[in-house]
Structure 1
Amino acid sequence: MGFLDIFKTPRDLAKEEIIEVPWHVLSKMEQLDEIREESKTNPVAIFKHSTRCGISRGVLKLFEKSYSLTDNQLKLYYLDLLENRNISNEIAARFKVQHESPQMIVIKNGVVVHHDSHHSIEASHLEKFI
């Protein structure tokens, strides 16, 4: 702690501890084709989040606290379910994974290799796919 840190608020200090998660927003249907192609060279994960759900918000916060991978290891997409329900429905149809919320789907070589929902979602589960 430096001398100037005495002028920082607890919120400022907390922000310094936050590690930014390299989210990519999934908001266009055509991105699903890109995701399938990307997954052939690097694993891809999609986090489906309901912004009005307390459970989803809690799972997202815990996930972000423990996530440590880079874009070069795994590309991480964020899907706002309330804004993009049609994309969520297409993910379920295209990748043959029943919709849940919150949900984490891992795609490798064009197919789903893992998925979790609710409190089963953990950042450490993704490490085995890199």
Structure 2
Amino acid sequence: MNWLKLATSSDLENLIRNSFSDEVYAIAIFKHSTRCAISTMAKSRLIFSWDFDEKLPIYYLDLIQYRNLSNQIADEFLVEHQSPQLLLIKNGKCIHHASHIGISINDIKQLLELKS
């Protein structure tokens, strides 16, 4: 699993621009609170089960350090802030979001029509 750091508005703009590429299924954003046990559990589950190639890049956002950017993401994609939270972005829009124990690799594969 190759985490890409999401730390600036410029990073977010690039992520949105790249979401229009035919070379990716979508782009994932994982919003993580380093102070939350549930968030740590969700991150561990992702690491253990993530078997996507570079066609589904995943960005990591530390909510404690970059709360303003998290709020910008909520506003940009019209998705209420949660932690932990996973969003899938395609063509500049959020096509899926899940939080807490609702974050599921199988749901992502089904949405993207990939084999489990």
Give the TM-score of the pair, scaled to structure 2: 0.89
Quote the RMSD (CA, aligned, Å).
1.1
Cα displacement string for residues 61-106 of structure 1 (whole angstroms, at most 9, x for unaligned residues)? 01110000112x1110000000000100000011111000000000
Partners of 1:64 and 1:122 in 2: how far apart?
Answer: 12
Which SS does the other structure have where 1:30 is aligned?
helix
Cα displacement string for residues 4-62 of structure 1 (whole angstroms, at most 9, x for unaligned residues)? xxxxxxxxxxxxxxxxx111010111111111111111210100000010010011101
Which SS does the other structure have where 2:95 is aligned?
strand
- In the TM superposition, structure 1's runs of 4+ consecutive aligned residues that sit over 4 Å from their partners are none
Matched, 1:32 2:15: no
Name the stretch that deviates more: 81-90 or 115-124.
115-124
Match of 2:74 in 1: 92
Q: What displacement does 1:126 show?
A: 2.4
Q: In terms of Rg, which structure is larger?
A: 1
In proportion to residue count, which structure has more helix? Answer: 1
Paired residues in the alignment total 109
For 1:95, the aligned partner's letter is F
Match of 1:4 in 2: none
For 2:104, the aligned partner's letter is E
Identical pairs, percent: 39
Tell me, which stretches of 5 or more residues in structure 1 are unaligned?
1-20
Match of 2:62 in 1: 80
* 1:1-130 to 2 correspondences below 5 Å: 21-41=1-21, 42=24, 43-71=26-54, 73-127=55-109, 128-129=111-112
Tell me, which stretches of 5 or more residues in structure 2 are unaligned?
none
